[in-house]
Amino acid sequence: MTINLEVPKKFALIVNQARQVSQEIFRPISRKYDQSEHEYPKELDMLASLIDGMNASGEASTGARGVRREASGDTGNRNGTNMSGVLSIIEACWGDVAMVLSMPRQGLGNAAIASVANDEQHARFDKTWAAMAITEPSFGSDSAAVQTTAVLDGDHYVLNGEKIFVTAGGRCDSVVVWASLDRSKGRAAIKSFVVEKGTPGMQVERLEHKLGIRASDTATIRFTDCRVPRENLLGSAEIEADQGFAGVMQTFDNTRPLVAGMAVGCARAALDELHDLLADAGVPIDYDQPVFTQHAAAAEFLKLEADWEAAYLLTLQATWMADNNKPNSLQASMAKAKAGRVGVEITLRCVELAGAYGYGEGALLEKWARDSKILDIFEGTQQIQQLIVARRLLNKSSTELK
C-alpha cells in the first residue's frame, strides 16, 4: 500500500478555504461562544450557505456530510470524499472544534446516513442536519448494549428509550437513533433510524453543561411511543445473526477517522501557538540537530510533534482505506486511539510550557486543552479503541476478549 503524503491537488482549494474559515471566522468568535454556552453561533448560517453552494457545484465540503463510500472501477490509488472530509476537518478544527460540531448539515448523523443509507434515503435526507444518538444512561462505549427499542407497527416503527450526549441534539433537523428491533436477538437486531424533529413522542429534555466544546449543544432526548416511518430505517431491516450489527458499525469506520482528524487539527493549533511563543522567547527549534543538544523546551516540542505526526499518518491511512473500499475497522480504531490520546497530551503540555499565558483566557491554549478531551471520549473511548485493536490483532471475538 502506497500513500502520497502530500495534499492531493484537487483538494488544495478546499483545504485552503477551510484554513481561511478557521482563521477569519472561527477563531475570532471562538472565545465569545465558549463563554456563552448553548448560544447558537449565528455566523455559521452564512458559512453553511456557502458550503451548500460548494456542494451544489460539485466541490467537496468541510465536515462529516461528505463522507460516503462509493463504488469505483478504478484500481489505482483513489482519494475521494473521505480524504476530502478529513483533510478539511483538520484545518477547520485548527480553528475551533465546537464550531465544526455546530455547523448546520455537517453532523455526525450525516456521516451515518452516508455510510448506511441506500441511494433513495441518501437523496431524501441530503438536506437534513442530522445528529447521532447512540449513548444511553445504562452504557457508554458498549454500543451493543442499546436498550432503546423499535417495534414494527404497520407502516411505522414505534421507538421507546432515552439517549444522552447527543451532539447538536437541540439544534439539528433530525436524529439518527440506534435502536433494537428485538433485544432477545442481541446486537444483530440493532438498526439505525432517522427521526425528524417535531415527530410526536420525541422530546429534547435538557442540554448539558460541559468542560469543553461549549458552543456545541449536547442534548438528552427521550422517545416515548415515537412513530417513525418504516422507510426511515437505514439499510436493511433483516436481522442477520452472522453479520452482527455490521451495518450500523460501518458508521464508525467512517466517523472515527473524522474524530481523529478533529484531534489532529486541535493539537496542531496548540503546537503552532507554542512554536510562535518559543520563537518570541528566543528558543530556536532546529530539525537538523540532535534533540539532546537543544533547549529543553525545544526538545519537548520536537517530541510532541513526532507524536502528532504519528497520529496524522494513522488518520490518513484509515481515511485512504475507506476511499478505496478497503476494510479499515482496525485502522480507524488505531487512528482514533492515537489521535485522541496525543491530542489531550499535546494540548495540556502546550499549556504547561506556555506558563501563565497558556493558562489564562488571553489565549486559546487553555480552551483547546478543554476541547480536546471530548475527542478522546466520543465515538468510542480510548479504552474501547484499544480493546477493538487487540481483538483485531489477536483474531478474538467480543465474547473471547472483553
Per residue in 343-379, pLDDT (tens digit) is 999 999 999 999 999 999 999 999 999 999 999 999 8
DSSP state of 8: P
Percentage of the chain surpassing pLDDT 90?
72
pLDDT, greater one: 36 or 140: 36
**Range with the lowest mean pLDDT among 30-34, 70-74, 251-255?**
70-74
CATH code, 289: 1.20.140.10
Shared domain check, 155 and 44: no
Q: Give domain status of residue 359, yes or no.
A: yes
Name, in order, each residue with C-beta under 8 angstroms of 214's C-beta and a sequence gap of 6 or more.
Answer: 33, 34, 35, 37, 38, 98
CATH code, 40: 1.10.540
Choose the final residue of a domain: 124, 142, 169.
Answer: 124
Q: Give domain status of residue 401, yes or no.
A: no
Whole-model pTM? 0.92
Shared domain check, 92 and 161: no
Average pLDDT (166-173) is: 95
- For the four alpha carbons of 145, 343, 13 and 4, in that order, the dihedral sign comes to negative
Name, in order, each residue with C-beta under 8 angstroms of 24's C-beta and a sequence gap of 6 or more.
Answer: none
**pLDDT value of residue 247:** 60
Integer CA distances (angstroms), 359 to 29, 43, 185, 299, 352, in order: 19, 27, 51, 21, 8
Shared domain check, 381 and 282: yes
Active site residue 379: yes
**pLDDT value of residue 55:** 62
Domain count for the chain, please give it.
3
Q: State which residues form the domain around 162.
A: 130-239
Per residue in 247-295, pLDDT (tens digit) is 667 778 888 999 999 999 999 999 999 999 999 999 999 999 999 999 9
Strands 190-196, 218-229: pairing is unpaired
Distance CA 29, CA 399 (A): 47
Choose the final residue of a domain: 209, 239, 269.
Answer: 239
Average pLDDT (210-221) is: 97
Catalytically annotated residue among 91, 162, 300, 379: 379
Contact indicator for 115, 253 with CB cutoff of 8 Å? yes
Q: Give domain status of residue 370, yes or no.
A: yes
Shared domain check, 135 and 120: no
Shared domain check, 172 and 138: yes
Calculate the CA 227 to chain-centre distance.
Answer: 29
Contact indicator for 230, 159 with CB cutoff of 8 Å? no
Per residue in 91-141, pLDDT (tens digit) is 999 999 999 999 998 888 988 888 888 889 989 998 899 999 999 999 877
Shared domain check, 379 and 278: yes
Shared domain check, 138 and 22: no
Shared domain check, 328 and 261: yes
C-alpha cell at 366: 487553555
Shared domain check, 143 and 113: no
Q: Give domain status of residue 152, yes or no.
A: yes
